[in-house]
Chain A
Amino acid sequence: GAGVSQSPRYKVAKRGQDVALRCDPISGHVSLFWYQQALGQGPEFLTYFQNEAQLDKSGLPSDRFFAERPEGSVSTLKIQRTQQEDSAVYLCASSLWGSGVGDTQYFGPGTRLTVL
């Protein structure tokens, strides 16, 4: 079956621009996660949804970052007024059930954001 998909795969933005990154989770998966992966590092947690509810946004680095999942399926991560330090790969993952219950998270290919 289809896995997690993300679009765009690559995004170049000028400093100060707003960007929107899309994630389509595996159909029927309740939970959706966003991670930020800087070059040469492991992914770092940003935020977590269970259906349409954003249960944890403790990893969002600033109030310029905003995520939503209005119908409990597709999610969008929005970054306002992008800065160079926002350059990273943004990974989306989904799991059948919830966070922290040992449920496997399945990852999309990521969106590589470069801020000039």
Chain B
Amino acid sequence: AQSVAQPEDQVNVAEGNPLTVKCTYSVSGNPYLFWYVQYPNRGLQFLLKYITGDNLVKGSYGFEAEFNKSQTSFHLKKPSALVSDSALYFCAVILYGQNFVFGPGTRLSVLP
């Protein structure tokens, strides 16, 4: 069975500092990996995805993520955090022919 873990419920970072939101997954096969962000009372907004190819994926709003097959991780990163990045972040995994499995979410707070 597929599963996604986001080991940190909450991440706090100062504005201007680099941020990392962690994601690890457990699947049997080659997964597709996604990051979504959710602002209050809004749906999920797509940030980036890994399908194949370069392990470093660049996405919207300056975010990037690195796929690490040996560590089964797909951590989300940004070199310089903004207060407006404060939101709930979800990692998701999908296998061919199956459906999304989301992680529990990590709340990111960027402090001014």
Segment among B13-21, B39-47, B61-69, B77-85 that sits at the interface with chain A: B39-47
Residues of B within 8 A of A99 (CB): 94, 97-99
Question: Which of under 10, 10 to 19, 20 to 34, or 35 or more describes the interface residues of A?
Answer: 20 to 34
Nearest A residue to B50 by beta-carbon distance? Answer: A102
Please, which residues of chain A bring their CB within 8 A of the CB of B4?
42
Interface residue B87 (Cβ < 8 Å from any Cβ of A): no
**Which one of B32, B97, B105 contacts A42 once the chains associate, using CB atoms below 8 Å?**
B105
* A77 CB to nearest chain B CB (Å): 15
Q: How far is the CA of A91 from the CA of B41 in the complex (A)?
A: 11
Contact, CB under 8 Å: B43 / A45: no
User: What string of 1s and 0s marks CB contacts (under 8 Å) between B93-109 and chain A?
Assistant: 01111111111110000
Chain B residues with CB below 8 A from A59, complex form: 99
Contact check: which of B36, B44, B51, B101 meets A102 at CB < 8 Å? B51
Contacts of B51 in A (CB 8 A): 102
Q: Are A109 and B99 in contact (CB under 8 A)?
A: no
**Assembled-state Cα–Cα distance A93/B32 (Å):** 17
Q: A91-B43, A104-B46 are in contact. Are A42 and B96 (CB under 8 A)?
A: no
Inter-chain contact A102/B104, CB cutoff 8 Å? no
In angstroms, how far is the closest chain B Cβ from the Cβ of A87? 16
Tell whether, in the assembled complex, residue A100 and residue B94 are in contact, meaning their CB atoms are under 8 Å apart: yes
Whether A25 is near chain B, meaning CB under 8 Å from some CB there, is no
B94 & A102 in contact (Cβ 8 Å cutoff) = yes
Cα distance, A43 to B96, chains bound together (Å): 19
- Of A4, A42, A108, which contacts B102 at CB under 8 A? A42
Chain B residue with minimal CB distance to A45? B99
Q: Which residue of B lies closest to A107 (CB)?
A: B43
Given known pairs A41-B105, A42-B90, A43-B102, the reply for A101 and B96 (CB within 8 Å) is: yes
CB distance from B26 to the nearest CB of A (A): 15
Pairs A-B, 3 closest by C-beta atoms: A42-B102, A107-B43, A102-B32
Please report A residues at the B interface, Cβ cutoff 8 Å: 4, 6, 33, 35, 40-45, 48, 56, 59, 91, 93, 99-102, 104-110
5 inter-chain pairs at a CB distance below 8 angstroms, sorted by A residue, are A42-B4, A45-B100, A91-B44, A100-B95, A110-B42
